Structure 1
Amino acid sequence: MVTSTIRSGVRAGSGDARHWYLRPADARSAVTCSDDQAGPISDGTTPPAADTRLRLSSLRNSVKFVLGQGDVLFADAAARGDVLRYDFAGGPGSTVIISNPAHIKSIMTADPAIAPSATRQSPLRPIVGPDSVLTSIGARHRQQRTLLMPRFHGHAVEDYRTEIDRATARRIDSWPVGETVALAELAQHLTLDVIMSAVFGLPDGTPRTDAERDLHRAIIRVLRLSTHSIATVAQLTNGFSENPVGITKLVLRPVDRAIAAVLAERRADPSSTSRTDIAALLLSARTEDDKPLSDSEIRDELLTLVVAGHETTANTVAWTFERLTRNPEVYHDARDAARADDTDYLEALLNESMRTRPVVPLVARELLKPWQFGAEQTPSGITALVSILLLHHHDDLYERPFAFDPTRFLGVRPAAHTLMPFGGGNRRCLGATLAMAELRTVVTEILRRVDLVTHDRPAERPRHRNVTMIPIRGGLVQARAVR
C-alpha cells in the first residue's frame, strides 16, 4: 500500500461518535426497525393550511440540516427510534422522517392522490422551475415521463454508450499523474459531455454555434458556483420562496438567456426537424390541446435534465473512489475485477457505494390523509421525508452498516425499499438507466486504467447541497500511473 503524504488530524480507523461518516467499520448505527404497521388512516380529515409562521426552533432545524443533516438524523434515530418529527422554516414545514422499509413502502406505493411528491417544497424548484418532470405532479408529471422515457431507456441508452466511452477515454487520457485531483470535478466534465450530447445533440458535448457556446459556459459557471460556500446561503434564502430570489436569480439569468437563444436558433434552422436530441423532442412536442410547449416549460425541462442528469452521477463516481482509496483491500479486489471483466463484482461495488453514500439522501411525499407509522400517527397535511441515508444503515437490514463491503451484494438482489439510490415508486429517477450505464463504464475504466494511491486518511465530510450529499473536497485521489 502506498500512503499519501496528505494527512488530517483524525485517523480513519479511530471513529468519531459525533460524526456518522467517521464511525469504524464494526460500529452499529443503533437505527433499527420498530413496528412495521403503516398506511393511511381513513377518518375524513381535511389537510390543514400550511403553517407559515417562522419560529426560532424551526429556523434552527433548517440550519442544522443544511450544515449536518446526517449527524442530526443518526443521533436522533438512535435516541428516538425510526419515526422522527421536525418543524422547518420554509420548505417542508412540519415533517415526519421515516426509514423503516414497511413505512416507506406505504407511501411509495400509495395513490398519488393522497401521497403526492412534495416537489413544490424541493430546494431545486427555484432553480429548475415549476414545469419540469422533477417538479410537476399528477397528470402533467405522467405526460412528461411518457414523453421523455424513451430517450432514457433501451436503444436510446445504447446509442449514448459510444459517447460515454469516448468521454471517459478523453478524461482518463488527460489525467495528471502524481497530482491530487478532485474526482467529482473530473467526473462532472465527463458526465456533462454525455448529458449535453443527449439533451442538446452536441457531438462529444462540444458546442458548435455561439448560442451553444454561451449555454455551455453558463451551465459550467452555475455548476462551479453551486460548490461555493455562498450556495448554502442561497439555498437557505430560497427556502422561503418557490421562485428564485437574490443570488440564485442573478446566477440563473445567463443560463435562461442562453437556453432561449439556443431554442430560437433551433426553430430558425430548417435542418432541426431531423434532429433526435431531447431539445428537438421538446420543441416538436404537443400538449393534449395540440399546442406547442412554451419556452418556459422547455427551459425547465432542459435545465432539469442537465443539472440532475450529471450531478448525481458525477458525485457517485467521486464517492465510489473516496471509499475505495480508504479501503485498500476492496480497491485491489475491485481493480482486479475490472481487469478481469467481472461484472458481478463491479455491480456489487456500485450498489455498495450508493448504499454507503447515497447522493440523494432524502425524498419527500405530502400526506393528504392522516398516516400510521408504527405506533405514531401523523395528521394530514404533513410532509413525509424518507431518509435513504438512515435506511441504508439500518442495523437489522445491513450487517456492519458502516463497513464498505461490496461482497454483501454478490448474488443478492436487494429487497424492495431497502436500497433506494434512485428514489422509488412512480417518481423513481427518470435517468437511472443512463446513470447506471455511465457509472459502469466510468468506474470500470478508471479501475482498469488508473493506479490510484490508497491511504488511511479519514473519510471526507459529506456536504449537503440542495437535494444532494457530496464529498466536501470532491473526492480527492492521486494517480501513480495511467495505462
Structure 2
Amino acid sequence: MGTVVRAIPRTGSATTGWHLRSADASSGIAGGDERAEQLDDDALAPAPMSKRVRIESLWNSVKFVRRQGDVLFGDAAGGSDVLCYDLAGGPGPVTVVCNPAHITSIMTADPAIAPSATRQSPLRPIVGPNSVLTSIGERHRRQRALLMPRFHGRSVAAYRESIERATAARIDAWPVGEPVRLADLAQHLTLDVIMSAVFGLPDGRPTTEAERALRTALIRALHMSTQPVATAAQLMNGFSENPVGVTKLVLRPVDRAISGILAERRAESGRRERTDITALLLDARTEDGQPLSDGEIRDELLTLVLAGHETTANTVAWTFERLTRNPGVYDDAREAVAAGDDGYVAALLNESMRNRPVVPMVAREMLRPWRFGTTLVPSGMTVLVSILLLHHRDDLYPRPFAFDPGRFLGVRPAPHTLLPFGGGNRRCLGAALAMAELTTVVTEILRRVDLETHDRPAERPRHRNVTMIPQDGGLVRALAVR
C-alpha cells in the first residue's frame, strides 16, 4: 500500500549554503509520485514516538531551526519530494511536502480535516491564541470576514498616498556612500503604513505616549529576535502556549503599550469618530453580543502589526540583495521603471518572492490519514508545505537558483506553484496591501537611488520564527540619490 511514516529522524544532510549555488545549478527536485488523497479514518494508526527518538532528534531540531534551507535542499536532492523529520521542542514527527499535487490536496481540503497547525506555531506564544493568525475553524472565518474589508479595495487605495509620502521621506534622508540595511529602512517605512491602518495614526506617526512606546517596543523586539539567544527562546517556547523566559520579558513592554492605547481609545469614546482597525475591534461584538476582551484585541492588533510590516520589509531587502548581485537584471529593472513598465516590476517582485520567500514554510495538521505518493501519513501528524523547495523545483522553474524576472513576464503562475502569501483559507489577509507597498517602495528606490552593484557572495538566509530574512539585512550602498 505504501510507506507508513513512523517518525524516523533524518540526519539532516545539510548541503552547505544553498543560497550560494550558481545560477545554472539544479536543485535535483523534480517529478515524483503525484498521488495525494485523504484515506479512511481506520487506514492507519497514529505513529508512535519514543522518548529516545526525541532525545536523539534535539540536535537535528536545532539545525532545522537555524539552517532549515540547507537541511531541506540536502535531503530533497536525493530525489524525494516527501521528507520525514522528528523535531523536538515543537511538533515532533512531521512530513515535509513540496510537490504541487500534494500541496493542492492540502490547500483545497476541508479546513475541518486539514486545519492550520497554529497551535504548534513558534508565533503562538508571541501573538497569542486569539488572533486571525493563530485561530482556526469558525472563529478564524469570522475574524477574516471582520478584517478583510480593511485590507482590500478602497481601503488599500486610501493607504497609497501614505505609502508614497513615507517612501519619499525615507529616500530623501538616504545617506549617500554609506552601507544601509534595507531591512531596517523598509521596516520603519512599512511600520508607518501598518500603524496608520491599525491605529489610524497620520502617516503612521505616534502622537501619544502609549503609541510611541509601542513603536519603540516593537522595533526592540524585532531586533532581539535576530540575536543568537532567539533560537533557544524559540525552542523553549515550543513547549508552552504562553511566552516564557526571554520572550516574556521582551513582550512585556509591548503588552503594556497596547493596554495603554486601548485605555486611551476608550477614554476618548464618543469624542472622535475613528475608522481604523483598533476602533473596529473595540466596537466588535461576539455572537452573544459581548465585546471582545482586551486579550483578544491585543492578540489581533499585535498580529496585524507584526505580520503587516516585517514580511514586507524583508521582501524589499531581499529584492535589492538580489538586484545588486545581478547587475544585468538591475539595469533592466531601472530601464523598465523609467519607461513606466509596471509589468516588469510585477515580474521582478514575483521572482524575488520565488527566489527568497520570506515565509518559507506553512503547516497543516492532518486530522485524517493521508497519502502523498507512496508515503502514508497517519492522522494527527503535522505536514509542512515547503514553499522554499516548491519555488526551486527544476520541473517548475528551470535554473531555479538564477534570479530571472523574465520567467514571469506575461505569465500567470499555475495554482499552488507560487505561494509567497500562503494559500487556501489561510492566504495572507494583507496580501493586497503588501503588494501595494512593495510596488511603490521598489519602484521609487529603482527610480531615485543609484545603488552599487557587485559580485560579493549572497547574504545567508537567517530563520527567525516563521520568516527567512537576509543575514545582513539586505546591505546596500547608494552612489547617488535623486
Q: TM-score, normalised by structure 2?
A: 0.95
1:322-401 to 2 correspondences below 5 Å: 322-401=321-400
Count how many residue pairs are aligned between Structure 1 and Structure 2. Answer: 468
Contact 2:194/2:309, CA 8 A, preserved across alignment = yes
1:258 corresponds to: 257
Contact 2:29/2:79, CA 8 A, preserved across alignment = no
Letter in 1 for 2:399: R
Bigger drift between 262-271 and 133-142 goes to 262-271
1:104-123 to 2 correspondences below 5 Å: 104-123=103-122
- SS of aligned partner of 2:437: helix
Q: Deviations over 1:371-428 (max 9, x none)?
A: 0101111111110000000000000011100000000000100000000000000000
The answer to whether structure 1 residue 65 and structure 2 residue 52 are counterparts is no
Contact 1:50/1:93, CA 8 A, preserved across alignment = no
Give the Cα–Cα distance (whole angstroms) in 2 for the partners of residues 309 and 50 of structure 1: 39
- SS of aligned partner of 1:87: strand
Q: Deviations over 1:145-178 (max 9, x none)?
A: 0000000000000011111001100100000000
Contact 1:17/1:23, CA 8 A, preserved across alignment = no
2:8 corresponds to: none
Q: Using a 3 Å threshold, how does the CA distance of structure 1 residues 298 and 17 change in structure 2: closer, same or farther? A: closer
Report deviation, 1:270. Answer: 3.0
Give the Cα–Cα distance (whole angstroms) in 2 for the partners of residues 43 and 169 of structure 1: 57
Give the Cα–Cα distance (whole angstroms) in 1 for the partners of residues 469 and 198 of structure 2: 24
Give the Cα–Cα distance (whole angstroms) in 2 for the partners of residues 163 and 194 of structure 1: 7
Q: Using a 3 Å threshold, how does the CA distance of structure 1 residues 47 and 205 change in structure 2: closer, same or farther? A: farther
- SS of aligned partner of 1:85: strand
1:75 corresponds to: 74
1:26 corresponds to: 24
Give the Cα–Cα distance (whole angstroms) in 1 for the partners of residues 44 and 209 of structure 2: 53
Bigger drift between 127-136 and 43-52 goes to 43-52
Q: Which runs of 5+ in 2 are unaligned?
A: 1-13
Letter in 2 for 1:200: F
Q: Deviations over 1:60-95 (max 9, x none)?
A: 221011111001000100125000000111322110
Give the Cα–Cα distance (whole angstroms) in 1 for the partners of residues 457 and 472 of structure 2: 12
Contact 1:133/1:144, CA 8 A, preserved across alignment = yes
- SS of aligned partner of 1:313: helix
Q: Using a 3 Å threshold, how does the CA distance of structure 1 residues 272 and 143 change in structure 2: closer, same or farther? A: farther
2:5 corresponds to: none
Letter in 1 for 2:242: N
Give the Cα–Cα distance (whole angstroms) in 2 for the partners of residues 138 and 38 of structure 1: 23
Q: Using a 3 Å threshold, how does the CA distance of structure 1 residues 472 and 228 change in structure 2: closer, same or farther? A: same
Give the Cα–Cα distance (whole angstroms) in 1 for the partners of residues 271 and 26 of structure 2: 57
Letter in 2 for 1:19: G
Report deviation, 1:235. Answer: 1.1
Give % identity: 73
Give the Cα–Cα distance (whole angstroms) in 2 for the partners of residues 454 and 42 of structure 1: 56
1:37-436 to 2 correspondences below 5 Å: 37-44=35-42, 48=46, 53=51, 55-271=54-270, 274-436=273-435
Q: Using a 3 Å threshold, how does the CA distance of structure 1 residues 255 and 208 change in structure 2: closer, same or farther? A: same
Give the Cα–Cα distance (whole angstroms) in 1 for the partners of residues 283 and 377 of structure 2: 45
Q: Using a 3 Å threshold, how does the CA distance of structure 1 residues 414 and 404 change in structure 2: closer, same or farther? A: same
Report deviation, 1:57. Answer: 2.6
Contact 2:82/2:96, CA 8 A, preserved across alignment = yes
Contact 1:273/1:280, CA 8 A, preserved across alignment = no
2:11 corresponds to: none
Letter in 2 for 1:396: D
Letter in 1 for 2:339: A
Question: Where does structure 1 differ by over 6 angstroms across 4 or more consecutive aligned residues?
Answer: none
Bigger drift between 36-45 and 370-379 goes to 36-45
Give the Cα–Cα distance (whole angstroms) in 2 for the partners of residues 53 and 267 of structure 1: 51
Contact 1:355/1:419, CA 8 A, preserved across alignment = yes
Give the Cα–Cα distance (whole angstroms) in 2 for the partners of residues 120 and 245 of structure 1: 16
Contact 2:47/2:378, CA 8 A, preserved across alignment = no
Contact 2:15/2:70, CA 8 A, preserved across alignment = no
Contact 1:68/1:463, CA 8 A, preserved across alignment = yes
Q: Deviations over 1:98-142 (max 9, x none)?
A: 000000000100011110000000000010000000000000000
Q: Which runs of 5+ in 1 are unaligned?
A: 1-15
Give the Cα–Cα distance (whole angstroms) in 2 for the partners of residues 400 and 424 of structure 1: 25
Q: TM-score, normalised by structure 1?
A: 0.95
Give the Cα–Cα distance (whole angstroms) in 2 for the partners of residues 88 and 272 of structure 1: 52
Report deviation, 1:432. Answer: 0.4
Give the Cα–Cα distance (whole angstroms) in 1 for the partners of residues 270 and 171 of structure 2: 35
